[in-house]
Amino acid sequence: MRGPHNILRLVRTGATLERTGAMAVVMDAMDAPPLVRGTMRFLAWPFQWLGYRGDKSMPPATRALTALGPAYIKFGQILSTRPDLVGEELATQLRVLQDKLPPFAIDLAKKSVESELGQPVEELFADFSEPVAAASIAQVHRATLRGGGDEVAVKVLRPGIERAFRKDIDAFYFAAKMVELLSPASRRLRPTEVIAHFEGVVMGELDLRLESSSASEFAANTDGDAGFELPTVQWHLSSRRVMTMGWADGVPLGDNAALDAAGHDRVALSERVLQLFLSHALRDGYFHADMHQGNLKVAASGNIIAYDFGIMGHIDEYTRRVYAEILYGFIKRDYRRVAEVHFEAGYVPADRDVDEFARALRAVGEPIFGMDASRISMGSLLSYLFEVTERFGMETRTELILLQRTMVVVEGVARSLNSDINIWKVAKPVVESYIKQNLGPASALRDLGRTLAVLSRYGSRLPVMVENALIRQSSPPAPPVKRRWPAYLFWAVMGMTAGAGAMAAALLLS
């Protein structure tokens, strides 16, 4: 239920950050102004007794997010790839959230496998190891198939994970509603729609049949991509709560010392991981949307291996073209064209000044060029971009949230391998190739062919469709139907709302 009872959950979030010492760590990492620090500490301190203790053996931030649950852990995973935003020390602490969380008992995992696949683990596998990796939603066991002897990774969902995520998302919805109510200016960011998008992604991640399907489609799209490989899905050993794939043998992409010891070129890897993501997003419109270091390895051959396909992103062809033109405009420093693309796509209201918007974009893009990439403050850049979007009335594009978030994560991965990487220089050949193939004369002819094909299918029905549309348009609109709530229903709802508020207040003050 999305009601006032969620106040307790949100208060407990702040209380946990304060109780574990994570509040001060986060404020220091984000270089928060004194007023913000003081306000947050003042609001959280009286309720710190409500906060979770967490595992005292963990660093403060990791301890707090782990105690708060899977949705908060997901947030920490994203921050762990951005040392330029949160500092190297905090990013290192948060990296354990990717695949080093406390596992659940192997007996529970075996029971889940038997329940899902209909056979005891001993009949399916020659051996079944203790957990080798544990993340926010599932854990992985290394096993050997009976008969063939192939090594596989068996992914098993955590017990009760669906209910835990539902509780967190419920509180997020309540927070979004409160933000919209208390800050009308924030409505342009559509926080409720953002949470709805997040909910859809997470609910899909909790069904491993969908992840198996995603892995299969992704493998078909990327077959032939140089320097990239994926493990194979074992469909007969996969179900809703269990997924079996070939074992990915390699060095974790987040272990720079191991990569160096194995003789891998980190500069080449940093460029490849960024270019692979852009190729998948622009060429296929289907990309791995959780590409942090915990989901990437480097094989002995030097190939990048990706796994964990619970979160995949999809963007339609038109949006891909818009995204490519925006990137290409920044690369070419053609800010007027970037501004025009925003207006043409409807990202900026038509009543705004395109020249003024272009000048604002120039202020965002120019610091990138002619400067050592390690000196660019992505925090300052993102802060200024937010100011620009607010000033020009841009709304949050929910269909691009996953793409934008993944771009941030992939950039963080690339920078962790090579702090001097020039993001724009590396992206240029991929974007130029897409522009050449999809925005030139050949592309126009393909689009015309597709349009003619559609017209040929519906051509005989077009006259009737147009005539019906004109008739509907000329008909007078039906008078609106006024609906009134019965008095008893109104007072019942008001009573339940007041009761929920009183219960929350009593819990907070008890």
Q: Please report, in angstroms and rounded to a whole number, the separation of the first and last CA atoms in the chain.
A: 22
Token readout for 177 is 């509603």
Residue 189: CB atoms within 10 A of its CB come to 19
Token readout for 228 is 């990239």
DSSP symbols for 367-399 = GGTTS-GGG--HHHHHHHHHHHHHHTTPPP-GG
Contact between residue 126 and residue 97 where contact means Cβ atoms under 8 Å apart:
no
Backbone angles phi, psi at 329, to 5 degrees: -65, -40
Among 255, 290, 353, 420, the active-site one is 290
Token readout for 26 is 């986060």
Q: Is 290 considered catalytic here? A: yes
CA distance 472 to 474: 6
Token readout for 340 is 């025009």
Question: 388-416 burial, b for 16+ CB within 10 Å, e for fewer?
Answer: ebeebebebbeebbbbebbbbbbbbbbbb
Contact partners, residue 4, CB within 8 Å, separation at least 6: 174, 497, 500, 501, 504
Comparing C-alpha atoms, which of 309, 317, 310 is closest to residue 285? Answer: 317
Contact partners, residue 468, CB within 8 Å, separation at least 6: none
CA 71, 72, 78, 80 torsion: positive or negative? negative
Measuring CA to CA, how many Å separate 231 from each of 240, 244, 299? 19, 10, 12
- H/E element, 295: none
Token readout for 304 is 């990048």
Measuring CA to CA, how many Å separate 230 from each of 139, 226, 299? 19, 12, 11
Tell me which amino acid residue 22 is: A
Mark residue 423 as left, alpha or beta (left: phi above 0; alpha: psi -120 to 50; beta: remaining): alpha
Contact between residue 167 and residue 72 where contact means Cβ atoms under 8 Å apart:
no
Q: What is the DSSP letter of 463?
A: H
Residues with a known catalytic role? 290
